[in-house]
Amino acid sequence: MDNFVKIEKIGEGTYGVVYKAKDKLTGKLVALKKIRLETEREGVPSTAIREISLLKDLAHPNIIQLYDVVDGDKHLYLVFEFLQQDLKKLLDSVKGGLDEALVKSYLHQLLKAIAFCHLRCILHRDLKPQNLLIDREGHIKLADFGLARMIGVPVRTYTHEVVTLWYRAPEVLLGTKLYTCALDIWSLGCIFAEMATRRALFPGDSEIDQLFRIFRILGTPDETIWPGVSQLSDYTSRFPKWEGTEVGNVLPSFDDDAKDLLSVRNKIERNGNTTNSY
């Protein structure tokens, strides 16, 4: 680590700490993700291994670039390109809301990045404003691939303390073990709405509250609109029956094109083309 000078701590989580740093050789700013090893009996945490292996194969302008992996004393350092802030901090700091053109640009860039991942059979699984990094030139990039998975591979349910509830797809809340592209598209739709309104679309405070917030807007799902939903482990026929509402009633600030985009997404998914997030 002698080649880097730490400037300040910019983040912290279960994985360790993230620092803003400078490369002594190039003078370039980087982000150093410091991974704790001493808490892992088997060495490097699985999230770090997954992130390293996936990012090596995901070279895209809207996906964070991993420059290097450096082994240190009881720590592993991932050296990333540095971006000024994340989308969550931007949304919290802009009083009047994001410019409509910027929202459209961010959405377009994110869709390209997600499509790039999905075409390579990779699900991000943890899309949220905190994991979307931005710079002053209007670029936005996907980051934090520690929970990413290959499409169609059965896996354990999310660790609830890690994944932000507000962006979790309904099939995950209902106990599915087989994740599809719909999971990321759902999260991105929630982020799109939040960029346009500066309010979280489904700010639940528990899993059942999260489900009910979704049901109130989209309607309580049944076999007619979501074939197979009754077979999910956490589904019950005793859920309250909500009819749902129009997108325009929930998001009045959206222009017609934005409302049409969300409506088309729902129609496509209800026809089964993306396998849920009804």
The one catalytic residue in 126, 205, 256, 260 is: 126
Nearest residue to 16 via CA among 164, 7, 50, 40: 40
Burial class (CB in 10 A: 0-12, 13-18, 19+), 84: middle
User: Active site includes 255?
Assistant: no
Instruction: Show the DSSP H helices in the chain as ranges.
Output: 46-55, 87-93, 100-119, 170-173, 181-197, 207-218, 247-250, 256-270
3-class SS letters over 182-251: HHHHHHHHHHHHHHHHCCCCCCCCCHHHHHHHHHHHHCCCCCCCCCCHHHCCCCCCCCCCCCCCCHHHHC
Residue 33 assigned ligand-binding role: yes
**Residues carrying an active site annotation:** 126
Known binding-site residue numbers for ATP: 33
Known binding-site residue numbers: 33
